Structure 1
């Protein structure tokens, strides 16, 4: 996929991140390549561990922000849908409503919205998982094997919970409840730092 993006004029420093975010979909990679807010959404998901503090209030704020970012990413799709409906309305005014395909158009647009939100959630959860894995890598660079084992366990367990939440997306769950339950169950970066300080390790 990176080669395809390069051939289409995407700069080399962006292809890896786009390929990861697109999860194998060239069409989504092209969409993200033209999306100026993509990097902001990626950074927002990546910062979640640093912003968790164990409170429900912080989780509520984070979930609202993440869902607003998903909503904003949906804006171009909604604009295209409005154009399609306007074009259909013009055809109906000219030729009548019989066989116009309005119901089929509505159903297709609903499917596209669901697919968009599913893609965005999968992208966000994958980014969040990589954020925890990156912290495991940081631990590996700084700690002995014994301390690493106790410290990394929490972050590796977090990736398992994120994977489970990603699997739940096939059931078309309530986004807010899914994200709130997940984030309440994830460790914060501060919590791990405290645990490490308890065994005499300070990475700061």
Structure 2
């Protein structure tokens, strides 16, 4: 069995080189391509595969599992809200002491924007720094897994590429975790602008409500872009420079 992770990130040339293998399997090998989405460039390959769509785990199921793990209901609910349907991520976030402050940091962005480039760049740097710091909880988990592998090697005398395989796996996981954290922050931004739109009244200027609608679309577009190999710093700076301020 061959599992190809993050298939959506492969360059067109790499996908093309796999096409013949997928079209003419040897009858014994099963290939599983894991992809966050299916862009038009993957249509040919998809037509040769059996497609299985997996939905995120519901917040209710995550809360139940966390409570079963011994987490109190209130904390489990808060974590499930930002875990985006990922139980493994939820279990990491449980031990993240900065989760609440990071969530608040993203929620306060619209009220801090003032239309200047300097402020947008400043806030973008704060957001990226906060997310980078959040990786510590995940790195601790990975260090424990690596230590466990080293102990097993010493005890059983195992040899081979076990360490490299695990290290490569950790790199993919860390990248995915960081992307998930950034997208979680963007979901919080979407929520803030959506709430502002709901609270709009007839007295609210038409151009202001329109700016909230455009903001939600821009944030969602940025979230989609994060699935690709983009420059996160430039992405967030450009996004924040385009978003309106919300005066509470």
Smaller-chain TM-score bracket: 0.7 to 0.9
- SS of 1:189's equivalent in the other structure is coil
CA RMSD of aligned residues (A): 2.6
The reply to whether residue 65 of structure 1 matches residue 119 of structure 2 is no
Alignment equivalent of 1:160, drawn from 204, 217, 221: 217
Alignment equivalent of 2:81, drawn from 17, 20, 33: 20
Per-residue CA distance 1:57-106 (angstroms, 9 max, x = gap): 11121111111111111002222333444455566677778414222122
Which has the higher relative contact order, 1 or 2, with Cα contacts under 8 A spaced 6 or more apart?
A: 1
Structure 2 alignment gaps of length 5 or more: 1-58
Per-residue CA distance 1:118-148 (angstroms, 9 max, x = gap): 1101100000111111111222xxx22x746
CA distance in 2, matches of 1:154, 1:173: 25
Alignment equivalent of 1:109, drawn from 170, 195, 200: 170
> Given the two structures, how large is their TM-score scaled by the length of structure 1?
0.78
Greater fraction of residues in helix: 1
CA distance in 1, matches of 2:206, 2:187: 23
Say whether the 8 Å CA contact 1:92–1:100 is kept in structure 2: no
- SS of 2:227's equivalent in the other structure is helix
CA distance in 1, matches of 2:80, 2:151: 39
- Matched positions, count: 187
The reply to whether residue 173 of structure 1 matches residue 230 of structure 2 is yes
The CA deviation at 1:11 is 4.5
What residue in structure 2 maps to residue 197 of structure 1? none
Say whether the 8 Å CA contact 1:59–1:184 is kept in structure 2: yes
Structure 1 alignment gaps of length 5 or more: 191-203
Per-residue CA distance 1:9-54 (angstroms, 9 max, x = gap): 5444455543331122223233323322111111100100111111
